[in-house]
Structure 1
Amino acid sequence: MTRDRITWLVYLQLAVFATFMYGLSAALPLLRADLGVSATVGALHGTAMAAATIAAGAAIPLLTRRYGRRATVWIGLAGMNAGVVTVVAVPALPGTLTGFALAGGFGSVMLYTAMAVLSDHQGPAGPAAISEANAIAVVVGMAATLLVSLAAQSVLGWRAALLLTPLLSGLLALTMGGTRLGAAQERTARLTGRPDWRFHVACAVLFCCVAIEFSFNLFGAELLAGRTGLSAATAATGLTAFIGGLAAGRFAGARLALLLPSTTLLVCALAVTGAGWLLFWLGTRPLVAYTGLVISGLGAAMHFPLAMAGVIAASGDRPGLAAAAAPVWAGLAMGAGPFALGALADGYGTHTAFVMVPVLAALAAAGVLSARRPA
């Protein structure tokens, strides 16, 4: 895997995306308190992001055909920043919902187009490069969440921390905005021809993987508090344990992706997540539960990078098709996965509802294994 200028450009673009994603996620409880709205109304911000992510799937082919991939990535980055600035500048519900939707939609345009560029550029090392790019993004995203916390306790206020995204975007545009893509990486989306059943299976695997990660992000702390007796404030650190496992797993996974087939590595990662889930689900002591969250994060670290690489590979010679389909399935997972888990939690309790995680992991593993068989 060669880390040249194009590779580092994509790495840094994904890192900027992470400051928006993790920064807005960390700021959502603070935003809800400022607006004085219920948890249900606050959750509409996530719904707005999910809906905009689905819409991004339709926009990507149109933008790449008209402007090319390089311009599409920068258009996505600019629109993402417009959304973040809207959240900062308009302290009212219609403005914040609009900001989350703009940032989520345009951010997805940038994210999925950039990963298609990286996959084309790296060739067989594409899965390893995508994993490494996401590892760097997670580390930067963790720093963004810390900055939101520190800013919230200062005279600046938490909104000032969100300005990190446009600041880093401006620096990136000034230093690497002139980077040109090669002919293969600049090619526009080719959507002709009907994909075979493996492509649809790969998209379903991506759905399951995204739903698993969002389920841990949104309900892991609640289950940790309920099983161990920790306060809600203390249990919130469980998300840090999970994200720490994500960061470590993606750096290690980038090396493993150069040595093992992507399908084998993804099945193993799903098994690791299942083992971590079992430890977390059964644990009633904080140390056991935290260990389970870290192990779950280590496995989940490879889910999205390898599932995304699988969608690209299953598209054949149509990475544009993968870039268009992936945000649709990811957006559906962002909205449907946590909603289904929440509905089950209301009816049967969070502990019982969390059984949905290994079910999703088993379905994803079955999809990966079935697609390996000859047609």
Structure 2
Amino acid sequence: MPQTSERARLSRDRPTWLIYLQLGAFATYLYGLSAAVPLLRIDERTSAAVAGLHGTAMAVATIAAGLALPFLTGRYGRRTVTWLGVAGMNAGVVLVVFSSSLPFTLLGYAVAGGFGSLMLYAAMAALSDHHGPAGAAAITEANAVGVVIGSSVTFLISAMANTALGWRAALLVTPLLTLAVAAALGRVWTSAPAPPPERVLDPAPGPGWRFHVSGAVLCCCVALEFSFNLWAASLLAARTGLSVATAATGLSALIAGMAAGRFAGAQLALRVPHTRLFTGALAVAGAGWLIFWMATEPVLGYAGLALSGLGISLHFPLALSAMIGNSGGRPDLAAAASPMWAGAAMAVGPFVLGALADGFGTRTAFLLVPVLIGLAVGGVLTARRRS
């Protein structure tokens, strides 16, 4: 697990900003398609469980991306894989924009999810190598930049839902931002080369049991985040009387909390021990969930989501950096395994929550969240390294 040091410094050069902005484009896709699930459910007249299949489609494609990533990075390198992922991610988003039937929107989510995962995990491994001891801070700050940029889409979806263009037009932010990033920084890349393919594919020596426990923690954290992303707006609408389109702005409160947490967390990751920071972030998310779960007024609902986002903000970057730190010096192995754990979470978590919502109501289904938090805390404490 990565150790913190006050001597570590985070230098933001042009390759760093390239990956930050690529992650920003990824965030516009992720938060845009997440906020779109309740609206797709209305357009396509499906149940909550069937609407949850959009998350499952993303999950299956994410697992496939993890299986393909070692071969692709070994054959073509991280830079090519990252841009390939960006291109495929945009193709999936465009398919959702111009589709109105369930099979095509499911396909769009799958294409965007699979290729987006290729970009995300290859870029995060490159960023970690590029910054060395400050890798965890760089990953955290990259996710903060992504959250700030991605939050614009949830506002646009809500604002455009009642216009002639419709909410789908807001999703075009992703390809437009991608074109701008490619034009400005398309020739830039990190100086740290990817390890040779043998380091990724050679099973010996193994990374150790802490690597797999860290993967299980990542699984819990991704399931937790996606459960909020896909279903928090539905619960907010049901509990407060807001329309589904208006309640989609609740994700903006969640994302604002995540942005604040990740910018602060980038500095905390340089100074606070990993285990203490991680368990604290999980506790904050639990407190935010409780406020949100009990709220019947929009103000309390938004406050609970903002506090939840503050805690959730550090879960993914700390879980991913823990996997990289426990990989035995093989960051590309962690990059390949991470989407498999994340994909499993995306497949099971939101779909189970959707099925529970159909059977028992969304509020009762959200009791899944503290269960995931408890499992994650147990995993973090189990996988920590003794000094």
TM-score with structure 1 length normalisation? 0.91
When structure 1 is superposed on structure 2, of 31-40 and 191-200 the one drifting more is 31-40
Aligned to 2:250: 238
Conserved? CA contact 2:250–2:302, under 8 Å: yes
Unaligned runs of 5+ in 1: none
Aligned to 1:50: 59
DSSP-derived class of the 1:156 partner: coil
Question: How many angstroms does 1:40 deviate by?
Answer: 4.3
Q: Does 1:366 align with 2:378?
A: yes
Q: What is the rounded CA distance, in whole Å, between the counterparts of 1:266 and 1:10 in structure 2?
A: 24
Aligned to 2:311: 299
Alignment of 1:48-197 (within 5 A): 48-185=57-194, 188=197, 190-192=200-202, 193=204, 194-197=206-209
Aligned to 1:309: 321
Q: Flag the 1:20–1:134 CA change in 2: closer, same or farther, 3 A.
A: same
Output the amino acid matched with 1:333: A
When structure 1 is superposed on structure 2, of 225-234 and 297-306 the one drifting more is 225-234
Deviations 1:55-82 (A, max 9, x none): 1100111100110111111111111122
Aligned to 2:233: 221
DSSP-derived class of the 1:190 partner: helix
Question: How many angstroms does 1:149 deviate by?
Answer: 3.3
Question: How many angstroms does 1:322 deviate by?
Answer: 0.7
Aligned to 1:318: 330
Q: What is the rounded CA distance, in whole Å, between the counterparts of 2:299 and 2:175 in structure 1?
A: 38
Conserved? CA contact 2:47–2:358, under 8 Å: no
Deviations 1:227-279 (A, max 9, x none): 55656555444332222211111111112112112222111101111222233
Count of residues paired in the alignment: 375
Q: What is the rounded CA distance, in whole Å, between the counterparts of 1:334 and 1:264 in structure 2?
A: 26
DSSP-derived class of the 2:200 partner: coil
Aligned to 2:260: 248
Q: Flag the 1:162–1:63 CA change in 2: closer, same or farther, 3 A.
A: same
Output the amino acid matched with 1:22: Y
Match 1:4 to one of 9, 13, 16: 13
When structure 1 is superposed on structure 2, of 146-155 and 240-249 the one drifting more is 146-155
Conserved? CA contact 1:69–1:187, under 8 Å: no
When structure 1 is superposed on structure 2, of 336-345 and 316-325 the one drifting more is 336-345
Aligned to 1:20: 29
Aligned to 1:329: 341
TM-score with structure 2 length normalisation? 0.88
When structure 1 is superposed on structure 2, of 336-345 and 110-119 the one drifting more is 336-345
Unaligned runs of 5+ in 2: 1-9
Aligned to 1:342: 354
Output the amino acid matched with 2:200: R
Q: What is the rounded CA distance, in whole Å, between the counterparts of 1:357 and 1:216 in structure 2?
A: 9
Q: What is the rounded CA distance, in whole Å, between the counterparts of 1:248 and 1:267 in structure 2?
A: 18
Output the amino acid matched with 1:297: G
Q: What is the rounded CA distance, in whole Å, between the counterparts of 1:325 and 1:344 in structure 2?
A: 29
Give aligned-pair identity as a percent: 63
Q: What is the rounded CA distance, in whole Å, between the counterparts of 2:285 and 2:104 in structure 1?
A: 38
Question: How many angstroms does 1:329 deviate by?
Answer: 0.8
Structure number with the bigger relative contact order (C-alpha 8 A, sep ≥ 6) is 2
Conserved? CA contact 2:81–2:122, under 8 Å: yes
Output the amino acid matched with 1:264: R
Output the amino acid matched with 1:353: A
